Structure 1
Amino acid sequence: MQQVTVLGTGVLGSQIIFQAAYKGKDVVAYDISDDMLAKLPERWEYLKKAYRHDFPDVTDEALDVAVSRIRSTSDLKDALKDADIVIESVPERLDIKQSTWRKVSEVAPAKTVFCTNSSTLLPSRMAPFTDRPDRFLSLHFANEIWKNNTGEVMAQPQTDPKVFDSVVQFAEEIGMVPIRVRKEQPGYVLNSMLVPFLRAAADLWVRDVASIEDIDKTWRIATGAPLGPFQFYDLIGMMTPYMLNKDSSDPVSREFAERIKTEYIDKGRLGKGAGHGFYDYE
């Protein structure tokens, strides 16, 4: 799997693109927004700085070579024409993902393996919208994938076991530690543990039990963890929790979505990747 196409160039999509290129893959970055594509050079500079910070031995030459392996386009047919594997990282809404996979199936080569990076949605909800359910599965990344490098590989009932094994190998090739999820599970392993933790923090904030800073401080001091829950939200980026909570049946979750929209998203505070979220970053 040398030719990689990534659908979506947001926070996590851009990380997948850069990491795959850094590990020697030829990568096409696809987005429906030309404005998003125009911002990618700035994003590559941000990621170069992050790699230098976390890997002191990395060279400028290696980072520049990674960028040279990336091509961007807003033409879906062009993006997929040579793809061995396509990784979807579009907004976390089932209708958007289903529509995307229907369009991808119309133009992707027969050889292409399809992977969704969905954080919460089951691949079996998307597989019927493809023309190859036997070649469809999940490959889920944690944020800041160059150092938080788990790659959760999760099949759905129709996935060919050989395809599953090939994606495990691909994950290893791009520097991930493959986590074999043996049964289809909303949230995989990571988010099945992380999401309840983050929801508890949101509930405390929305109900004015404690401030964001004190909630984070409590968690860090009492557990020895390096990050509090709202620092995790900043890593994830504001749009994902907003999309996941805005239509919730739980009024606290809906209020959380509304508050992060009006107090943060509408002010351009989109998370650590944008330099500002719940906290400010250099």
Structure 2
Amino acid sequence: MQNLTVLGTGVLGSQIIFQAAYSDKQVVAYDLNDEILGNLPARWEYLKPRYLAEVPGATPEKLAAAVGRIRASSDLADALVDADIVIEAVPERLDIKQSTWEQVGKLAPEKTNFCTNSSTLLPSDIAPFTGRPEKFLALHFANEVWSKNTGEVMGHPGTDPAVFEAVAQFAAEIGMVPIRIHKEQPGYVLNSLLVPFLNASAKLVVNKVASFEDIDKTWRIATGAPVGPFQIYDIVGMMTPYNLGKDSDDADMREFAEFVKREYIDKGWLGKGAGRGFYDYGGQ
């Protein structure tokens, strides 16, 4: 599978686009309008120094070649015209994902394999909307894909085993370590571990138990971890905890979502990729 289309060019979508292009794939970056797509050159300029510092063998020439393998389009039919594989990275809401895949299923070539990058939703809740559920599964990336390079591959009961293995192979080809998940699990492996941890940290802040800086400091010192939970929130980006928390059954998580919106999102402090989230990254 050489031709990839990525639906959604936010923090993680743009990382998937760049990583696949760096790995010699031809990539179409799709988003809703040209104004959104106009932000992509700035994302590439943010990612280039990260690759130079953190990816062995990265050179300015290789990074420039990667950018040359990326084409942007706000026309969905055009974006899908020659896709071997589609990875969807739209907002983490079931209704948005279902409606997106309903459109994709009508427009994509018969050859195309379909993947969602959803971090919490089950493939079986989306697959019927694609019109070809046997070709649909999840391929979930961790944030900062060039270094935290797991690719969680999770099908649903109707996924064709050959498609499952082809997607696992594709993940390896773009530098991921395929993690084969044998049974549908909300949160897969990574987020089954990570989300309760981040929720616990959010509740400590909401209930004014400690500052986010001291919560991070406690975790780093006591466990030897390189980053604390609020540094992870900054890597993930503020829109994810907001979207997950605003309609939660848990009052603390709803309050945390409103806190994140009021104190960070409304100020344009969207996380590390935007130069500021809980922490100030100096405009990088």
Counterpart Cα distance in 2 of 1:249 and 1:176: 34
Map Cα deviations across residues 3-55 of structure 1 (whole Å, 9 max, x no partner).
00000000000000000000000000000032210010111011101101113
Counterpart Cα distance in 2 of 1:33 and 1:90: 14
Residue in structure 2 matched with residue 103 of structure 1 by the alignment: 103
- Residue 173 of structure 2 aligns with an amino acid whose one-letter code is E
Counterpart Cα distance in 2 of 1:232 and 1:95: 26
Counterpart Cα distance in 1 of 2:46 and 2:198: 26
The question of 1:62 aligning with 2:62 is answered: yes
Shift of 1:56: 5.5
Structure 1, unaligned runs of 5 or more: none
- Structure 1's consecutive aligned runs of 4 or more residues displaced over 6 angstroms after TM superposition are none
TM-score w.r.t. length of structure 2: 0.98
TM-score w.r.t. length of structure 1: 0.99
**SS at 1:180 equivalent:** strand
Structure 2 matches for 1:42-61, cutoff 5 A?
A: 42-55=42-55, 57-61=57-61
Map Cα deviations across residues 127-186 of structure 1 (whole Å, 9 max, x no partner).
010111000000000000000000000010100000000001000000000000010000
**SS at 2:5 equivalent:** strand
**SS at 1:151 equivalent:** strand
Residue in structure 2 matched with residue 221 of structure 1 by the alignment: 221
Counterpart Cα distance in 2 of 1:26 and 1:45: 19
Residue in structure 1 matched with residue 147 of structure 2 by the alignment: 147
Residue in structure 1 matched with residue 247 of structure 2 by the alignment: 247
Residue in structure 1 matched with residue 206 of structure 2 by the alignment: 206
Counterpart Cα distance in 1 of 2:25 and 2:62: 13
Residues 158, 239 of structure 1: alpha-carbon distance in 2 compared, 3 angstrom cutoff: same
Query: For this pair of structures, how many residues does the alignment match?
Result: 282
Residue in structure 1 matched with residue 37 of structure 2 by the alignment: 37
The question of 1:124 aligning with 2:118 is answered: no
Counterpart Cα distance in 2 of 1:135 and 1:57: 35
Residue in structure 2 matched with residue 8 of structure 1 by the alignment: 8
Structure 2, unaligned runs of 5 or more: none
- Residue 144 of structure 1 aligns with an amino acid whose one-letter code is E
Q: Percent identity?
A: 72
Residue in structure 2 matched with residue 261 of structure 1 by the alignment: 261
**SS at 2:143 equivalent:** coil
Counterpart Cα distance in 2 of 1:174 and 1:56: 15
Counterpart Cα distance in 2 of 1:131 and 1:82: 18
Q: CA RMSD in A?
A: 0.6
Query: Is the contact between residue 20 and residue 174 of structure 2 (CA under 8 Å) also seen in structure 1?
Result: yes
Counterpart Cα distance in 1 of 2:200 and 2:131: 40
**SS at 2:258 equivalent:** helix
Counterpart Cα distance in 2 of 1:19 and 1:56: 14
**SS at 1:5 equivalent:** strand
Shift of 1:57: 3.2
- Residue 102 of structure 1 aligns with an amino acid whose one-letter code is E
**SS at 2:269 equivalent:** coil
Residue in structure 2 matched with residue 281 of structure 1 by the alignment: 281
Counterpart Cα distance in 2 of 1:276 and 1:34: 25
Counterpart Cα distance in 1 of 2:58 and 2:85: 27
